[in-house]
């Protein structure tokens, strides 16, 4: 049986997809499942306490039970917010690790080809907004790889700003986030919110963006040769 050979740069994109699909996604799904189980149990208990107080005709106990039920609803929303923050942070970590590794590959290829980094910023969006993402893409730009025009760039860019708000500003949008994104998609007006809908979109967008980076590096490596589609099959590593 012939051994399939995979371009090592394509393998980088494949690895990133596996990190999302086999680690981040199931971890998030497990957290959501556990959270829903907790909410179901607590909600059932709260409703039962309200019914018992109402049946006993004890207005004081009934009001207390209602207040406790309201507090549990607030706690449920806060738990959901925290689960969203955790997955947001996890996705930011795997994205940063992959983009930094790809940058080192780009740098190695460029230097071997006799192309040193430009002295000026090649990535205009890298100016302002001190996030690792914008700063790193500015470094990509110094080697002639500009990614701020990609279809999903704005989504990924804002996601990183939201992630930084969670890490460095107690989950509240930073001034830089508000400045660069007047219509924030990851907030509810008070704090960062990363919903299941955002999560599903983020998985696809991050894969697409990393694949775009890989294509750009392959184009640099191969010169004017057609890059072609990324190899999709999951490779079998030699035993």
3-state secondary structure of 61: helix
Token duo for residue 102 = 């790809």
* Torsion angles phi and psi, residue 187, rounded to 5: -135, 160
Q: Are 149 and 139 in contact (CB under 8 A)?
A: no
CB 131 within 8 A of CB 160: yes
What is the SS3 assignment for 234? coil
- Is pTM beyond 0.75? Reply is yes
Indicate if the alpha-carbon torsion angle 206, 211, 216, 221 is positive or negative: positive
Please, is 209 exposed, middle or buried when counting C-beta atoms within 10 Å of its C-beta (0-12, 13-18, 19+)? buried
Q: How many CB atoms within 10 Å of residue 131?
A: 21
What is the DSSP code string of 136-191?
Answer: HHHHHHHTT---TTSTTHHHHHHHHHHHHHHHHSTTSPPHHHHHH-SS-SSBSSSS
Tokens of 51: 């019914």
Output the tens digit of pLDDT for each of the chain's 239 residues: 444 566 889 999 999 999 999 999 999 988 888 877 766 555 556 656 656 656 666 666 656 656 666 667 777 778 888 889 999 999 999 999 999 999 999 999 999 999 898 976 444 544 456 899 999 999 999 999 998 989 999 999 999 999 999 999 999 999 999 999 999 999 998 899 998 889 999 999 999 999 999 999 998 898 866 555 555 555 554 44
Q: Which residues contact 215 (CB under 8 A, 6 or more apart)?
A: 227, 230
CA distances from 8 to 11, 109, 155, 225 (A): 5, 13, 27, 17
Task: Give the 3-state secondary structure of residue 192.
Answer: strand
Q: Where are the domains of the chain?
A: 8-222
């Amino acid at each position: 049986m012939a051994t399939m050979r995979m371009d090592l740069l394509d393998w980088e994109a494949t690895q990133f997809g596996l990190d999302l699909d086999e680690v981040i996604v199931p971890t998030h799904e497990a957290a959501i499942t556990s959270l829903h189980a907790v909410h179901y149990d607590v909600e059932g208990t709260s409703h039962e306490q309200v019914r018992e107080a109402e049946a006993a005709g004890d207005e004081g106990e009934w009001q207390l039970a209602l207040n406790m039920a309201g507090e549990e609803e607030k706690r449920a929303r806060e738990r959901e917010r925290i689960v969203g923050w955790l997955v947001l942070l996890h996705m930011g970590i795997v994205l940063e690790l992959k983009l930094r590794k790809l940058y080192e590959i780009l740098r190695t290829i460029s230097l071997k080809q006799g192309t040193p980094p430009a002295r000026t910023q090649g990535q205009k969006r890298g100016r302002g907004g001190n996030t690792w993402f914008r700063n790193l893409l500015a470094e990509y730009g110094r080697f002639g790889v500009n990614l701020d025009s990609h279809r999903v760039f704005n989504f990924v860019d804002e996601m990183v700003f939201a992630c930084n708000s969670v890490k460095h500003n107690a989950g509240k949008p930073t001034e830089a986030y508000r400045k660069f994104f007047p219509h924030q998609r990851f907030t509810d007006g008070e704090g960062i919110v990363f919903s299941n809908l955002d999560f599903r979109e983020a998985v696809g967008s991050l894969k697409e963006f990393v694949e775009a980076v890989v294509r750009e590096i392959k184009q640099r490596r191969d010169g004017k040769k057609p890059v072609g589609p990324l190899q999709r099959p999951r490779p079998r590593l030699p035993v």
